[in-house]
């Protein structure tokens, strides 16, 4: 009896974690997610590959199709997994192994700046000597946070985190009249351009700003 | 086939490999919590707005209920770290392992965006320790039997191997980017190494070695896609080791260890490399950890232990 129960639980556990781990999107996909430059470049790239093999997909229709299929799969998966939520969430058996599924071709360069006497001064940069807040921002958890708030569709999280961080930096720099948290999206350079020293091309520049005295 | 699988699940083996998993995983989880808990500048990662962070509400049910403040998160962190020490030394059995798991999950779920796959790998590992129990080479075992050594069931370690192979396989199956697939431009690893959020290396250095990253991209992709074969080879070697299966599992395991050492050195991935290595070390046969003479010869596991192809590494 004990053996049968053990084997039944092992079979159920293995089935459940395998299903949870199967490829899927982590949350409903918004249109802004799909229009993120990295995601769009991937879809357009696949459409070109299909074209080379004789198919004639329309880029916009492919994007629309990917969006619909991803959301439909997400809904179906959520319905199937709902009864097992306590088992996966509370007992830590959740499986989501979406790790580096596609390289970020338009990564964010993150910085924190303060305004002193009308001039902006960088106090933190993700790569470089400016290291205000490095204990928080340079470890893996801080880097994950910067990565996730840097997504095109993450305006709300970016605003909340940015205003909080700006308030903190103003607290440490009493001479500053304003602070801004800056996400500069750059296009990854091909190796030849890196070796030649060609500067990075900024494709997007988003800041969250806080004036001294404003509520974070 | 089902009977053969059930027979394998019934078998017992020396408890060293399981102890390596229990001690290693508990220590990595402990460091993961301590990394936040012992540095006040990092506390906001796990605090809600009312507690001094930026989160509207915490993700985990416990902290949604009590609020994620310095006091509540601090108390749970201290208790969880103490419980993880108890798990590492093997004191308190499944009750302590479950309490450590619940505390750990509550902490990492406060702000999932400020974490990574390593948190989930660790929570899954703690769950398997709860399921498998503390076993031999633990204070509980010494209190019960007066000795460190002893046998443990083999099935928890089979689940450990399945879990890590599942991680590799399903992360590989999601890598359908044209920069990952072998018929694409294979720039994925170079691109990742140039992403400022994760990289620890100079982009110039990455650019000079571009051809090497291209080859590695294809190899990593194939290795991840073939992880089910690795599990099959490992599982078959428990039943009836053959030279072919032994070569497959040794090659896959050795590449995995190299992959995690390299990625841990080149990228800032938190506890992912050490947590994964603990899983890989737990796949090693108990003989690799010095077992062999102490095993009870009445146990069928001896058939595996005495086979030269099953000895040594993974």
pLDDT of residue A67: 82
Same domain, A50 and A113: no
Residue carrying the six token digits 């208790």 = B79
Q: Among A23, A46, A90, whose Cβ lies nearest the Cβ of B173?
A: A23
Its pTM stands at 0.92
Q: Distance between CA atoms of B100 and B84, rounded to whole angstroms?
A: 6
Residues 155-194 of A with CB under 8 A from B: 157, 160-161, 163-165, 188-189, 191-192, 194
State pLDDT tens for residues A26-80. 777 777 777 778 888 888 888 888 888 888 777 777 778 888 888 898 999 999 9
Looking at beta carbons, which residues of chain B come within 8 Å of A14?
159, 162
One domain for residues A122 and A77: no
Here the ipTM equals 0.91
- Note whether B85 and B91 are within 8 A (CB): no
Q: Let me know: does B284 contact B304? Beta carbons within 8 Å.
A: no
CB burial of residue B102 (10 Å; 0-12, 13-18, 19+): buried
The predicted pLDDT at position B304 comes to 43
First-residue to last-residue Cα distance in chain B: 23
Interface of A with B in 22-61 (CB under 8 A): 22-23, 42, 45-46, 49
Contact list, B12 vs chain A (CB under 8 Å): none
State the total domains in chain A: 2
Contacts 24+ apart (CB under 8 A), B136-141: B136/B14, B136/B15, B136/B16, B136/B18, B136/B19, B137/B15, B137/B16, B137/B19, B137/B90, B138/B19, B138/B22, B138/B89, B138/B90, B138/B91, B139/B89, B139/B90, B139/B91, B140/B90, B140/B91, B140/B92, B140/B93, B141/B15, B141/B90
What is the average per-residue pLDDT within A86-96? Answer: 93
Query: Residue B294: pLDDT band by 50, 70, 90 thresholds?
Result: very low
Tell whether the model's pLDDT for residue B300 goes beyond 60.
no
Closest alpha carbon within chain B to A93: B124
Q: Are residues A114 and A198 in the same domain?
A: yes
The predicted pLDDT at position B105 comes to 97
Would you say residue A72 lies in a domain? yes
Query: In A, which residues are within 8 Å of B162 by CB distance?
Result: 14
A83 lies in the same domain as A112: no
Host H or E run for residue B13: strand B12-14
Res. B293 pLDDT band, cuts 50 70 90: low
Residues of A in contact with B35 (CB under 8 A): 139, 141
Residue A156 scores a pLDDT above 80:
yes
Residue of B254 and A71 predicted with greater confidence: B254
The answer to whether the Cβ–Cβ distance between A105 and B179 falls below 8 Å is: yes
A10·B45 Cβ contact <8 A: no
pLDDT-based confidence at residue B314 (cuts at 50, 70, 90): low
How many CB atoms neighbour CB A17 within 10 A?
Answer: 23
The domain boundary, picked from A91, A118, A137, lies at A91
> Among A24-38, A198-212, B200-214, B297-311, which is the least confidently predicted range?
B297-311
* CB contacts, 8 Å: A191 with chain B: 190, 206-208, 210
A103 found inside a domain: no
Rg for chain B, CA atoms, rounded? 21
Task: Inspect the interface and report whether the beta carbons of B178 and A45 lie closer than 8 Å.
Answer: yes
A179 & A125 share domain: yes
Q: Does residue A102 lie in a domain region?
A: no
CA B13 to chain A, closest CA, distance in angstroms equals 17
Residues A114 and A192 in one domain: yes
Q: Where are the domains of chain B?
A: 13-136, 154-289+308-314
Confidence (pLDDT) at A69:
87
Q: Quick one: tokens of A23?
A: 């490829």
Q: Is the pLDDT of residue B296 over 70?
A: no
Does the beta-carbon distance from B6 to A89 stay under 8 Å? no
Better pLDDT: A39 or A199: A199
Same domain, A185 and A123: yes
- Give me the pLDDT at residue A164, please: 96
In a domain, A96, yes or no: no
At B184, list the tokens. 């694409």
Inside any domain, residue A18: yes
Residue A67 · residue A31 · CB < 8 Å: yes
Of A110, A140, A191, the CB nearest to B270: A140
| pLDDT tens figures, B111-169 | 999 999 999 999 999 999 999 999 999 999 999 999 999 999 999 999 999 999 999 99
Q: In chain B, which residue's Cα lies nearest the Cα of A196?
A: B204
> Do residues A86 and A113 both lie within one domain?
no
Note whether A13 and A73 are same-domain residues: yes
State the DSSP code for B69.
-
pLDDT tens digits, residue range A160-181? 999 999 999 999 999 999 999 9
Decide if A53 is inside a domain.
yes
Paired tokens of A172: 């440490």
Residue B297 pLDDT class (50, 70, 90 cuts): very low
| Beta carbons of B169 and B161 less than 8 angstroms apart | no
Are B131 and A87 in contact by the 8 Å Cβ rule? The answer is no
Domain boundary among A91, A119, A145: A91
Q: How many contacts (CB atoms, under 8 Å) link A and B?
A: 193
Beta-strand (E) ranges in A32-177? 108-116, 119-125
Whether the Cβ atoms of residue B44 and residue B52 lie closer than 8 Å to each other: yes
| pLDDT(A190) > 80 | yes
On whether both A118 and A201 belong to a single domain, the answer is yes
Q: Which of B113, B174, B207 comes nearest A144 by C-beta?
A: B113
Per the DSSP assignment, residues forming a β-bridge with A35 are none
Residues A160, B54: C-beta atoms closer than 8 Å: yes
Instruction: List chain B residues with CB under 8 Å of A95.
Output: 120, 124, 166-167, 170
**Partners of A108 in the beta sheet?**
A185
Helix or strand run (H / E) with residue A183:
strand A178-187
From chain B, the residues in CB contact with A96 under 8 A are 117, 120
| pLDDT (0 to 100) of residue B306 | 40
**B187 and A103: CB-CB below 8 Å?**
yes
The residue of chain A nearest to residue B206, with distances taken between CA atoms, is: A191
Q: Is the residue at A204 inside a domain?
A: yes
Option in A99, A139, A191 nearest B210 (CB): A191
What is the residue-wise DSSP string for B35-51? HHHT-GGGGGGG-BGGG
Contact B178 A42 (CB under 8 A): yes
Task: Note whether A116 and A198 are same-domain residues.
Answer: yes
Question: Same domain for A78 and A46?
Answer: yes
**Please, what sign has the CA dihedral across residues B58, B63, B68, B70?**
negative
Tell me the Ramachandran region of residue A206: left when phi exceeds 0, alpha when psi lies from -120 to 50, beta otherwise. beta
Domain of A160 in residue numbering reads as 108-211
**Which residues, at least 6 apart from A185, have a Cβ–Cβ distance to it below 8 Å?**
A37, A106, A107, A108, A109, A150, A202, A203, A204, A205, A206
Q: Point out the domain boundary residue: A30, A58, A91.
A: A91
Question: B179 to chain A: which residues are within 8 Å by CB?
Answer: 102-103, 105
Q: What is the pLDDT of residues B40-50, one digit of tens each?
A: 999 999 999 99
The string of pLDDT tens digits covering residues B9-36 is: 999 999 999 999 999 999 999 999 999 9
What proportions of chain A, in percent to the nearest 5, are helix, strand and coil? Answer: 50, 20, 30
């Amino acid at each position: 009896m004990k053996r049968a129960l053990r084997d039944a639980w092992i079979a159920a556990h293995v089935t459940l974690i395998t299903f949870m781990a199967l490829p899927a999107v982590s949350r409903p996909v918004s249109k802004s997610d799909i229009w993120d430059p990295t995601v769009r470049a991937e879809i357009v790239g696949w459409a070109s590959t299909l074209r080379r093999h004789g198919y004639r997909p329309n880029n916009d229709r492919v994007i629309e199709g990917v969006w619909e299929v991803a959301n439909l799969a997400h809904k179906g998966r959520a319905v199937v997994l709902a009864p097992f939520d306590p088992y996966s969430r509370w007992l830590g058996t959740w499986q989501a192994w979406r790790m580096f599924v596609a390289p970020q071709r338009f990564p964010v360069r993150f910085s924190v700046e303060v305004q002193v006497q009308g001039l902006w001064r960088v106090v933190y940069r993700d790569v470089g000597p400016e290291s205000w807040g490095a204990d928080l921002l340079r470890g893996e958890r801080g880097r994950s946070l910067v990565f996730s708030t840097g997504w095109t569709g993450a305006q709300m999280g970016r605003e909340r985190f940015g205003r909080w961080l700006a308030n903190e930096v103003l607290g440490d720099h009493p001479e500053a009249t304003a602070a801004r948290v800056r996400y500069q999206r750059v296009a990854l350079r091909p190796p030849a351009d890196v070796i030649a020293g060609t500067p990075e091309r900024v494709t997007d520049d988003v800041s969250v700003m806080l004036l001294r005295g404003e509520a974070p | 086939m089902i009977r053969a699988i059930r027979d394998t699940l019934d078998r017992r083996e020396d408890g060293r490999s399981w102890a390596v998993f229990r001690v290693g995983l508990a220590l990595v989880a402990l460091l993961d919590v301590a990394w936040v808990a012992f540095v006040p500048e990092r506390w906001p990662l796990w605090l809600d707005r009312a507690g001094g962070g930026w989160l509207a509400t915490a993700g985990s049910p416990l902290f949604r209920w009590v609020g994620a403040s310095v006091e509540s998160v601090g108390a749970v962190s201290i208790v969880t770290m103490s419980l993880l020490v108890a798990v590492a030394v093997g004191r308190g059995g499944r009750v302590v392992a479950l309490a450590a798991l619940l505390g750990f999950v509550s902490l990492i779920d406060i702000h999932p965006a400020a974490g990574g796959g390593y948190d989930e790998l660790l929570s899954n590992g703690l769950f398997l320790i709860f399921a498998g129990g503390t076993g031999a080479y633990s204070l509980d075992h010494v209190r019960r039997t007066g000795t460190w050594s002893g046998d443990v069931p083999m099935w928890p370690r089979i689940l450990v191997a399945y879990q890590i192979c599942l991680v590799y396989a399903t992360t590989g199956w999601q890598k359908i980017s044209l920069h990952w697939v072998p018929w694409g431009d294979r720039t994925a690893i170079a691109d990742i190494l140039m992403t400022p959020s994760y990289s620890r290396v100079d982009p110039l250095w990455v650019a000079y070695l571009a051809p090497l990253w291209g080859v590695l991209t294809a190899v990593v992709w194939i290795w991840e896609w073939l992880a089910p074969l690795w599990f099959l080879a490992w599982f078959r070697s428990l039943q009836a080791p053959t030279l072919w299966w032994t070569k497959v599992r040794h090659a896959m395991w050795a590449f995995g260890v190299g992959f995690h050492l390299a990625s841990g050195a080149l990228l800032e991935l938190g506890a992912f490399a050490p947590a994964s290595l603990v899983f890989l070390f737990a796949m090693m046969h108990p003989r690799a950890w010095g077992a062999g003479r102490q095993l009870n010869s009445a146990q069928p596991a001896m058939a595996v232990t005495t086979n030269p192809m099953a000895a040594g590494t993974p």
